[in-house]
């Protein structure tokens, strides 16, 4: 197969097709949406291909047949019918300016009106929008297609200013309500965004949207599957460890059969030929880290959170459930689904190594001073584990925690509860790229942390001595028989007990032995 141009940063369907870039055919999903419904909503994390899919729909409804030759939809679409398309795009701009949203909506409507030769009679956004839809239908004889890209960006960008975020939310609610009011003139609607704000807050005037975010039929509507990599991108795979690609970047799951890759990660990997946090480094919001620390969410608790449909959708300026925040922004994904008295209950997990390692690195930097988490400490940690040098591990742990000044303990909210040491400990291991399992259940209890590395198993029990004076961490490891669960792996198992002193702010006792 011939190598093609990598469509890095290209969100325009026409450009990708005309320039012969790699393209994963998503037109079957577009055709199904059009055949089975009218008004849709889709939430996916940033840089997941939402804008490209929206642009694909635009070209499809405008009847640009040559762009679709060879694709699924080509022989299943009536190219003689062309619909007017109104596309609103909020993916760029300074929505921290109180006047920017109003001006931006006005500018976007101006552009559509001028292109169609329509003169506006109204000054308000919703009124202009309603007239625009009615006039386009009347002039063309075809109902209008409405596409809204990054519908929630004006709210998310202003979360640091709650009053402005609420004002932007209310303005958007009025604008989007015009779509339902113009239902007779609308053929198809798709709104996309990162977050799913509650219907009451944003969509109260547009309550006929069908949410396909967790519809298994559309789980791969954005992103690449394993099959896509092995077929479409086959020319790019030689020279790269296929399993490493899966470990680093695969794992996003929205209840369908396939887990998917973030396209941005994959395209940057093929371009640079380097495994690194391509997606994470493009802009993890500071408010996410601050929110986790302010709510005293211990980092070991992140992997294994549970949430219902209602909880994962509970997102608004004044109400952002931690689980919803992490799931909708792409830092956690669905690991499994259970039935809880007739209601779906989802277990969440990190999607892949990139997110687990990078998010914990950010949390570690927020919980410890600069320098105490240096790269050399991560390399030293891996080296000591590889050599099973437990005396060296003891010394490294004590040195690491001794490097955290007194004032750092007091300035971090999370430091005022017992999970601080466990959070720092876990995030340190996870940020080093190690395979860490937390609160791993056995028939006798819940293990604090398991690390699988170098074909060996390390089982950690963490205790705070002032809080739990009875027994030792090592005694608990032995009494609970935590090692039994891992014997099936046929790998050496090491028990490691670590006890912290809140008074001394460091490791008080350390013990290790072969199970």
Q: How confident is the model at residue 285 (pLDDT cuts 50, 70, 90)?
A: low
**Cβ atoms 256, 22 nearer than 8 A:** no
Q: List pLDDT tens digits, range 172-183.
A: 999 999 999 999
- Classify strands 39-43 and 210-211 as parallel, antiparallel or unpaired: parallel
For the record, the structure tokens of 444 come out as 């006798």
Local confidence band at 120 (pLDDT 50, 70, 90 cut-offs)? confident
CA gap 73, 265 in Å, rounded: 27
Cβ atoms within 10 A of the Cβ of 429, count? 25
Domain residue extents for the chain: 25-215, 368-514
What Cα–Cα distance (Å) separates residue 303 from each residue in 121, 208, 242, 355, 440? Answer: 54, 34, 25, 11, 11
| Residue 205: pLDDT band with limits 50, 70, 90 | low
pLDDT for 251 = 97
CATH 3.40.1350 fits 368-514, yes or no: yes
On average, the pLDDT of the chain sits at: 91
List, as one string, the DSSP characters of 134-164. HHHHHHHSSPEEEEEESTTHHHHTTTTSHHH
Task: Give residue 77's pLDDT band: very low, low, confident or very high (50, 70, 90).
Answer: very high
Least trusted range by pLDDT, from 198-207, 257-266, 485-494: 198-207
Residue 468 pLDDT grade (very low, low, confident, very high; cuts 50, 70, 90): low
Cα distances from 381 to residues 80, 399, 453, 458, in angstroms, run: 65, 12, 11, 13
- pLDDT digits 0-9 by tens, 298-316: 899 998 899 988 888 777 8
Strand bridging mode 435-442 / 445-453: antiparallel
Tell me if 404 sits within 8 A of 505, measured CB to CB: yes
- Looking at residue 313, what is its pLDDT? 78
60 or 485, which is more confident = 60
Q: What mean pLDDT is predicted for residues 396-409? A: 77
Which of the pair, 154 or 367, is modelled with greater confidence?
A: 154
pLDDT score, position 183: 95
> Residue 284's pLDDT is what?
66
- pLDDT, residue 495, reads 97
160 versus 95: which is more confidently predicted?
A: 95
- CATH number for the segment(s) 25-215: 3.40.50.300
242-246: Cβ within 8 A, 24+ apart: 244/275, 245/269
> How many helical (H) and strand (E) elements, i.e. helices and strands, does the chain have?
19, 15
Percent of residues, the chain, with pLDDT higher than 70: 92
User: Residue 62: its pLDDT value, please?
Assistant: 98
pLDDT at 511 over 60: yes
List the one residue out of 169, 175, 152, 160 whose CA is nearest residue 96. Answer: 160
């Amino acid at each position: 197969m011939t190598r093609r141009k990598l469509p890095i940063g290209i969100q325009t369907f026409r450009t990708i097709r005309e320039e012969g870039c790699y393209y994963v055919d998503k037109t079957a999903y577009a055709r199904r949406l059009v055949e089975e419904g009218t008004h849709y909503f889709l939430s996916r994390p940033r840089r997941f291909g939402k804008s490209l899919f929206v642009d694909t729909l635009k070209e499809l409804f405008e009847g640009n047949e040559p762009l679709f030759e060879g694709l699924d939809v080509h022989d299943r679409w009536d190219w003689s019918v062309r619909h007017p398309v109104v596309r609103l795009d909020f993916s760029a701009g300074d929505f921290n300016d109180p006047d920017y949203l109003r001006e931006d909506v006005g500018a976007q409507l101006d552009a559509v009106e001028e292109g169609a030769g329509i003169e506006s009679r109204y000054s308000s956004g919703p009124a202009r929008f309603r007239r625009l839809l009615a006039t386009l239908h009347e002039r063309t004889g075809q109902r209008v297609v409405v596409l809204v890209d990054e519908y929630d960006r004006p709210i998310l960008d202003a979360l640091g200013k709650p009053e402005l975020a609420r004002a932007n939310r209310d303005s958007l609610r009025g604008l989007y309500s015009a779509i339902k009011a113009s239902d007779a003139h609308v053929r198809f609607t798709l709104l996309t965004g990162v977050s799913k704000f509650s219907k009451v807050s944003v969509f109260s005037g547009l309550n006929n949207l069908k949410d396909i975010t967790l519809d298994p039929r559309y789980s791969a509507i954005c992103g690449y599957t394993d099959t896509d990599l092995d077929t479409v991108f086959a020319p790019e795979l030689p020279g790269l460890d296929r399993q490493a690609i899966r470990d680093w970047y695969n794992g996003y799951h929205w209840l369908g059969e396939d887990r998917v890759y973030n396209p941005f990660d994959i395209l940057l990997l093929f371009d640079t030929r380097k495994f690194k946090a391509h997606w994470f480094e493009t802009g993890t919001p500071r408010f996410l880290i601050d929110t986790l620390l302010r709510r005293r969410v211990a980092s070991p608790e992140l992997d294994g959170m549970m949430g219902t449909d209602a909880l994962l959708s509970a997102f608004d300026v004044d109400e952002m459930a931690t689980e919803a925040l992490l799931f909708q922004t792409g830092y956690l994904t669905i690991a499994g689904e259970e039935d809880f008295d007739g209601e779906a209950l989802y277990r969440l997990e990190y999607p892949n190594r990139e997110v687990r390692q990078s998010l914990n690195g950010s949390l570690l930097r927020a919980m410890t001073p600069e320098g105490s988490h240096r790269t050399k400490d991560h390399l030293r940690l891996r080296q000591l584990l590889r050599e099973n040098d437990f005396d060296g591990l003891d010394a490294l742990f004590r040195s690491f925690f001794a490097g955290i000044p007194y004032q750092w303990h007091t300035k971090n909210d999370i430091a005022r509860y017992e999970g601080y040491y466990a959070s720092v400990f876990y995030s340190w291991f996870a940020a080093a790229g190690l395979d860490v399992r937390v609160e791993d259940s056995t028939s006798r209890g819940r293990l604090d942390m398991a690390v699988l590395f170098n074909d060996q198993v390390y089982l950690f029990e963490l205790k705070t001595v002032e809080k739990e004076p009875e027994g030792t961490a090592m005694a608990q490891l032995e009494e609970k028989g935590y090692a039994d669960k891992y014997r099936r792996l046929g790998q050496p198992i090491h028990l490691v007990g670590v006890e912290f002193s809140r008074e001394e702010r460091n490791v008080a006792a350390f013990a290790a032995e072969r199970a």
